[in-house]
Chain A
Amino acid sequence: MSNTSTSAQKGQDFEKTLDQSDTKVASFEVKHHTLLERIQHLLHNNPTLVPVIVLIISLIAFGLIAGGKFFSAFNLSLILQQVSIIGILAAAQSLIILTAGIDLSVAAIMVLMSVVMGNLAVFSGVPSGIAIIIGLAGGVGAGVMNGWFITKVKLPPFITTLGTWSIFYALLLWLSGAQSIRGQDIDAEAPFLKFFGATFNLGGARITLSALLMIVVFVVLWYMLNKTAWGRHVYAIGDDKEAADMSGIRTDRTLLSVYGLAGFVCALAGWASIGRVGSISPQSFYEGNLDSITAVVIGGISLFGGRGSIMGALFGALIVGVFRSGLRLSGVDVLWQVFAIGWLIIIAVAIDQWIRRVSA
């Protein structure tokens, strides 16, 4: 003990036998993996693979059952159009869920901001462009409000957004007087609000701009999450917030930006929904919150945060759309569509749990 330099080389007395110890322990054990374990590993490394496989299988299955009308360019573009609004909401929801949060207010923010845009542009004579900018800024504000309660007041995201869901919903009923803004009025006063309802032809398929917007939103968010430091921080926070804090990430600031960005994306969905629906209805998309969570969960993004790719949510939204369309074209009652989506959710979460149990 007196001579540190030699003891440094040899270590403690009781460790002398370490030289002769079994070296296999230190190296990686080459274990024989069963096929199931290998699949588990593959999915663990590529969490988006599950929704992609499910999407492909369901496309093939419904193609076989429902036949040609399912695979027509018209029907496929219809599916894309139908999922576009919920898809954009799911993108916002993915951001929140990746931080191990949940946002029950996404649809309320979306409809509230569409009402704000509509009121300003149609009734108050504000130029459409400015009304839209105010609506988008309002979305950021609503998101930051959620984020402020979560980071500064330290409320759980579930409770915060359960509260703001009601608050935003009440506000939108008040602002709209529970009345819809008719499509004719929008066309007359502020047609630009319906911008994302425009369509163009692509080989027999009618693609709406809202579907294109959905894809752009996903690609941009994917880039931000995977190619920037901010995105890595979002994952680190969802993974282990305390560890992220200790490794020098300003977690509260990042969380605030995530909620603000999610609010912006919701407001964007609000704008797109005006074109998609054709009017502004305070009662629309009441189940949008849960539908967005459904898409995220089916897309393989873990509700516990930090795992999954935002692209999964896009595939999740498409899977829901394909199931709805396929079952309808096969002549199945609507209630069985809901039944099938319910099973999809449970199976998706069960698979997520199984993947997380992967052993190295």
Chain B
Amino acid sequence: MTTPVVQARGIVKRYGHVTAIDHSDFELRPGEVLAVIGDNGAGKSSIVKAICGATIPDEGEILIEGKPVKFNSPIEAREMGIEIVYQNLALSPALSIADNMFTGREIRKEGWMGKYLRMLDKPAMEQFARDKLTELGLMTVQSIKQPVETLSGGQRQGVAVARAAAFATKFIIMDEPTAALGVKESRKVLELIQDVRARGIPIILISHNMPHVFEVADRIHIHRLGKRLCTIDPKDYTMSDAVAFMTGAKEPPAQDVA
């Protein structure tokens, strides 16, 4: 079997006497869309945060492409090529699309202007942003220089996804990317997810929306009471099965139990 992109074993995270993650495992395989579902408070966000460095687990080990890692912040994860699309977007409304795509990794001009005066290479950044948005079929915005606050919710999510897709080399985490969107905009984001997968970049999709999960996911990680309950193939089960496993109404089949 090929090495998993992410493999986490026995992750534990406690807050006081609340155990958010209870000896949980996690696995993301190359090229797949792995959906993470679970009831509210099951700890699905916690486990994903532990993987990208947003929280530091108390116990357990995380391997990325077979190599053990210990992230102290999401910035370190990002430097390894792990991108996160947040539910609340993480875009700066007053800055332009191009500025937003490059926050924290701006391109400087070549030569002394960039080296000593630290001048940004705006044309290069704008060109890159334009290319990436066009690649993902998002070039409906009037200008790459327009502030993000003038975009619709779906367009903003598009910018966030494009940013992640442009810089991710390992995998992308998407936390409820369709939660705040309308039907049409959600459809666009789902298409984007499939586009990104088609380029071979695996995605971890945290979502509450069962139809969306069953549509795009290759495997579904079901989280319950702080740990991985099982991983199922969406082709073998129905949405009501998944909800039943997730809420504990039904025991998962033995062969799928993590």
Chain B residues near A228: list those with CB within 8 A.
117-120
- The reply to whether B103 and A244 contact each other, CB–CB distance below 8 Å, is yes
Give the interface size bracket for B toward A. 35 or more
Confirm or deny: B180 has a beta carbon within 8 angstroms of a beta carbon on chain A.
no
Interface SS, A side? helix
- Distance in Å: Cβ of B112 to nearest Cβ of chain A: 14
Q: Give the nearest-CB partner of A45 in chain B.
A: B147
With A and B bound together, what is the CA distance between A242 and B90 in angstroms?
7
Chain A residues near B94: list those with CB within 8 A.
235, 239, 306-307
- Distance in Å: Cβ of A51 to nearest Cβ of chain B: 18
- Distance in Å: Cβ of B146 to nearest Cβ of chain A: 9
Chain B residues near A35: list those with CB within 8 A.
none
Confirm or deny: B227 has a beta carbon within 8 angstroms of a beta carbon on chain A.
no
Chain A residues near B78: list those with CB within 8 A.
248
- The reply to whether B89 and A243 contact each other, CB–CB distance below 8 Å, is yes
Chain A residues near B150: list those with CB within 8 A.
360
With A and B bound together, what is the CA distance between A115 and B174 in angstroms?
55
- Distance in Å: Cβ of A29 to nearest Cβ of chain B: 10
- The reply to whether A243 and B74 contact each other, CB–CB distance below 8 Å, is no
With A and B bound together, what is the CA distance between A329 and B8 in angstroms?
76
Within 8 A of B (CB), among A9-40: 11-12, 14-15, 18, 21, 25-28
Q: Which of B106, B214, B216 interacts with A232 by CB under 8 Å?
A: B106
Q: Give the nearest-CB partner of B239 in chain A.
A: A1
Q: Which of B92, B183, B235 interacts with A4 by CB under 8 Å?
A: B235
Q: Which of A27, A239, A249 interacts with B93 by CB under 8 Å?
A: A239
Given A11-B187, A12-B211, A18-B184, are A229 and B90 neighbors across the interface (CB < 8 Å)? no
- The reply to whether B105 and A248 contact each other, CB–CB distance below 8 Å, is yes
With A and B bound together, what is the CA distance between A240 and B88 in angstroms?
11
- The reply to whether B108 and A246 contact each other, CB–CB distance below 8 Å, is no
Confirm or deny: B142 has a beta carbon within 8 angstroms of a beta carbon on chain A.
yes
Chain A residues near B194: list those with CB within 8 A.
8
The 8 closest A-B pairs by CB, nearest first: A248-B104, A246-B90, A229-B106, A236-B92, A360-B150, A239-B92, A247-B103, A228-B118
Identify 11 residue pairs between A and B in the complex whose beta-carbon atoms are under 8 Å apart, listed by A's number.
A4-B216, A4-B234, A11-B215, A25-B184, A27-B140, A228-B118, A228-B120, A242-B90, A247-B91, A307-B94, A360-B150
A228-B120, A243-B90 given. 13 additional CB < 8 A pairs?
A1-B214, A1-B215, A4-B215, A11-B190, A15-B183, A18-B187, A25-B184, A232-B106, A233-B103, A243-B91, A248-B78, A248-B103, A249-B103
B residues contacting A by CB (< 8 A) are: 74-75, 78, 84, 86, 88-95, 99-100, 103-106, 108, 117-120, 140, 142, 149-151, 183-184, 187, 190, 194, 211, 214-216, 218, 234-235, 238-239
A residues contacting B by CB (< 8 A) are: 1-2, 4, 7-8, 11-12, 14-15, 18, 21, 25-28, 223, 227-230, 232-233, 235-236, 239-240, 242-244, 246-250, 306-307, 360
